[in-house]
Structure 1
Amino acid sequence: MTNQDILKVAMRQSALDLNCHERDFCQQENKVVTSAADPNARKYLTLPFYCNLVSYGHNIVASVDEEIAAVVQDYINKYPIEHCFETPNLHVLDEELRKRNRRICFMAEYFLPDLKLLRALDCSYELKLLTPESFGGLYTSEWGNALCEKRKHLDVLAIGAYEEGELIGLAGCSADCDTMWQIGVDVLPTYRKQGIASALTSRLAVEVLQRGKVPFYCAAWSNIKSVRNAITSGFKPAWVEMTAKEAEFVEGMNA
């Protein structure tokens, strides 16, 4: 597997998620498609989308409800790609969404492994590979990024860091789709800034690749420590994504 192979896998998955073709992400022109549910989409997505924008850097592909298709088309063609995912231009789209009882909700940057940089990093603590049989007592708030209690059946592999038998850090991955597993990581506060997160993340990424899957990592672009961990662990930015949800859903999250 090469970096180009990995990128193609990600684009192919995004195409399933957005109801488009993988080549659409490499065009110079933006594209708006009608969203539809697909059984092979990432398991945690709620489909069809009302409005979802994705860019791999070449253009924007928008997967939308037909009701807002023309509005989104005008928006993504009016502003530069990068400005469509940030304020102040983002307010223009959000105002249109508000009229339809929707708001911008999720905004994130996604990372893929760079095979020229990825290697299993070390730290000064014992590391253990864990399988789902060992996850039973780990669905607690301390490990909420590494494992997801709401989707336990998707958690497939993890690596823990231990001091004298006590778990101090955990990276886990969920089989969010057939070809790609998502990595999340947690380290107890008193053990941070010691290279534990990058050791766990990088080693788990290597384990995922050895199993024939593509690891990916997600972070809000304002989460500097998470972005730094991705880069230190041998990942590089691959695509950005923005999703609108019902106004009540957004209000519930803010509550």
Structure 2
Amino acid sequence: MNNKEVLQIALQQSAYDCNCEPQDFMVVENRFFESVDTNQARRYLQLPHICNMVSYGSNIVVTAQKELLSEIRQYIKNVPNIENCFETPGLYPLNDRLKKFGAEICFMAEYFLPDMEDIFRLEYSCNYELTILKPKDFVNLYLPEWENALCAKRKNLDVLAVGAYDKGKLVGLAGCSADCDTMWQIGVDVLPEYRRQRIATVLTNRLAKEILQRGKVPFYCAAWSNIKSVRNAIRSGFRPGWVEMTAKKIEYVQDMIESS
């Protein structure tokens, strides 16, 4: 598998998620599609979307409720550049439009894809033993300290992990979930007292290789403000692939704020 093939697989998955075609992300013109539910989308997505905006850098693809499409189209028409649609102050008028439909901007994230040369060129090591873990091995690891590596709400999707052990003690864990048929998402955690030793990078890179050897494409997601996570992605051999911004119902957003 090479970088072009990796990108094509990601584009196809985004097309499933957005009810469009892969080439829609590569044209200059922005594209708009009604959001629909489909069993080909990433399994954790709650479809249909109220509004979801995706960019691979060439344009913006919007998938939204039918009654919102004209509002979003008008918003994007008045914003000069792609990046302005994903940052303040440009987001304020978008949020005002969404509120008329009982929604607000909720999630904003950057997604990373493996650079196939770097992933296999990088040879990191750490002072701890690495162990490949299958679902039966991490059934008892759904604990707060590993909540980024494993997802208790979607245990059925967690398929593979790599653990770092210090004399039998688990000190770092990278896990991946089979979020769709072709792509597995990586998450990683390291105990606070073991950080700044590049354990996360070693685990992420090793797990990415294991995923690729199984014929799947690893991908990595981070909030733009999570500098530590973004640095880990890049050190591990990943590069920026696409960005997404998702709106949710106002009640959903408020519940998140209150429970944080």
TM-score with structure 1 setting the length: 0.99
Q: Does 1:118 align with 2:142?
A: no
After TM superposition, the structure 1 stretch with the greater mean CA deviation from structure 2, 74-83 or 185-194, is 74-83
Within 5 Å, give how 1:191-202 maps onto structure 2: 191-202=194-205
- In structure 1, give the amino acid aligned to 2:97: E
Give the share of equivalent positions with the same residue, in percent.
60
SS at match of 1:254: helix
SS at match of 1:156: strand
SS at match of 2:208: helix
Spell out, residue by residue over 1:174-230, the C-alpha distance to the aligned partner (whole angstroms, 9 max, x if none): 000000000000000010010100000000000000000000000001000000000
1:121 is displaced (CA, Å) by 2.1
> 4+ runs of 1 displaced by more than 3 Å?
none
CA distance in 2, matches of 1:127, 1:77: 51
- Partner of residue 48, structure 2: 48
Spell out, residue by residue over 1:103-146, the C-alpha distance to the aligned partner (whole angstroms, 9 max, x if none): 00000000000012113521111100000011111000000000
- Partner of residue 207, structure 2: 204
1:76 is displaced (CA, Å) by 1.7
1:30 touches 1:77 (CA, 8 Å); kept in 2? no
1:147 touches 1:173 (CA, 8 Å); kept in 2? yes
Select the residue among 224, 228, 250 that pairs with 1:221: 224
- Partner of residue 185, structure 1: 188
Within 5 Å, give how 1:23-42 maps onto structure 2: 23-42=23-42
Within 5 Å, give how 1:126-141 maps onto structure 2: 126-141=129-144
CA distance in 2, matches of 1:237, 1:75: 25
- Partner of residue 18, structure 1: 18
1:67 is displaced (CA, Å) by 1.1
- Backbone CA RMSD of aligned residues: 0.6
- Partner of residue 251, structure 1: 254
SS at match of 1:201: helix
Unaligned runs of 5+ in 1: none
- Partner of residue 98, structure 2: 97
CA distance in 1, matches of 2:31, 2:49: 15
- In structure 1, give the amino acid aligned to 2:172: G
CA distance in 2, matches of 1:24, 1:121: 38
Unaligned runs of 5+ in 2: none
Spell out, residue by residue over 1:226-245, the C-alpha distance to the aligned partner (whole angstroms, 9 max, x if none): 00000000000000000000
CA distance in 2, matches of 1:201, 1:122: 12
Select the residue among 165, 169, 182 that pairs with 1:166: 169
SS at match of 2:9: helix
CA distance in 2, matches of 1:144, 1:23: 35
CA distance in 2, matches of 1:208, 1:106: 26
CA distance in 2, matches of 1:121, 1:77: 46
CA distance in 2, matches of 1:124, 1:58: 42
1:174 touches 1:183 (CA, 8 Å); kept in 2? yes
